[in-house]
Amino acid sequence: MHGYPNLPFESELLPKLIIQIPCYNEAETLAIALSDLPRTVTGFDSVEWLVIDDGSSDETVRVAEENGVDHIVRHTSNRGLAYAFMTGIETCLARGADVIVNTDADNQYHAGDLPALTRPVLEGRADMVIGARPISEIEHFSLVKKLLQKIGSWVVRVSSGTDVQDAPSGFRAISRNAAQRLIVFNNYTYTLETIIQAGRKNMRVVSVPIRVNGDLRPSRLVKSIPSYLKRSIFTIVRIFVIYQPARFFGMVAAILFGLGFLIGLRFIYFYLTGTGGGHIQSVILAGVLMSMGFQSLLVAFLADVIAANRKLLEDIRYTQRATQGEVGNYAPARNNKNAG
């Protein structure tokens, strides 16, 4: 197959690559990012560009059109980065992409590393590839941000069972099969959830080192360190609850029941030593905590049943997308080659 005998694709033709860029008021930087994107990538028969305009109020769409973007899909209002990412995934699938690359409109990631990013997917070694930035060498990252990036990536590695080195990185390549399985529930960002989801679905996730360009604008997601930290923690906990509910609520049940049991033992000790009369509050607290623990255990069982049903629905959704042409659930993309 044209020098790539191990390509995981059924067609004898080289696969199609679509590079998607979620945008929200990116008129000032989008042209710079597009000027660096390649029109040919080794291993691909065609390379197309897709811009997802997430309700921009500036000239983002005009800039995209003037710079030859193949497909533009627009949200009538700002829906958030995660929703824009999924709009892109749905549109890429509908346009016949075999591999999807996601990148940012601020030209943060070095486009010259795109072949290295897609190679593991082409060779069948990965379902998702995450570009790992040299965090410690990025000058405009504060020491606190660098530390949080490393801690966050470690938490995601533990939660997902993967070896991802730079979890917040938005520069990633995704196979068609993996893209069909992705569902993002979070409105804030897709980066952490997609990795944890991929790991829990036994997808092969690998990291490759990439370079970064100079800083063109401040991050839209990291408005402040406390806000970013709070949102990231909430995202990780929420994903953990969604994908491992029995374990999460089981841990809560064990903690509550254990505390109640220990407090109960404390009262029994005082009672047996003849001083239990002044510790009736311990009996009440122990009863409340143990009751809450038992209720949490019941919730764990119910949540596990719901999670099983969710997995069945996801499998049905995947089968439908794979057999019915994967028509997206979002606004239709406009093909600029035919615009007129």
Residues 170 and 39 in one domain: yes
pLDDT in tens, the chain (340 residues): 344 444 555 445 569 999 999 999 999 999 999 999 999 999 999 999 999 999 999 999 999 999 999 999 999 999 888 899 999 999 999 999 999 999 999 899 999 999 999 999 999 999 999 999 988 777 767 787 778 778 778 888 887 888 888 888 999 999 999 999 888 877 777 888 889 888 888 899 999 999 998 876 666 665 666 777 777 777 777 777 877 788 889 999 999 999 999 999 988 888 888 776 777 888 899 999 999 999 999 999 998 888 888 778 877 877 776 775 544 333 444 455 444 3
Residues 190 and 312 in one domain: no
Residues 249 and 185 in one domain: no
Domain membership flag for residue 6: no
Residues 209 and 136 in one domain: yes
pLDDT score for 298: 93
Residues 176 and 207 in one domain: yes
pLDDT score for 159: 76
Domain membership flag for residue 329: no
Residues 198 and 311 in one domain: no
pTM of the model: 0.76
Domain membership flag for residue 201: yes
Are 167 and 132 in contact by the 8 Å Cβ rule? The answer is no
Number of domains in the chain: 2
Domain membership flag for residue 198: yes
Q: What's 72's domain CATH number?
A: 3.90.550.10
Last residue of a domain, one of 243, 270, 305: 243
Domain membership flag for residue 281: yes
Which among 50, 118, 61 is positioned nearest to 86, based on CA atoms?
50
Domain membership flag for residue 8: no
Domain membership flag for residue 185: yes
Last residue of a domain, one of 243, 265, 297: 243
Residues 23 and 84 in one domain: yes
pLDDT score for 9: 54
Could you tell me the CA-to-CA distances from 123 to 3, 13, 101 in Å, in that order?
11, 15, 16
Domain that includes residue 26, residue range = 16-243
Residues 133 and 236 in one domain: yes
Residues 35 and 148 in one domain: yes
pLDDT score for 245: 86
pLDDT score for 55: 93
Last residue of a domain, one of 196, 218, 243: 243
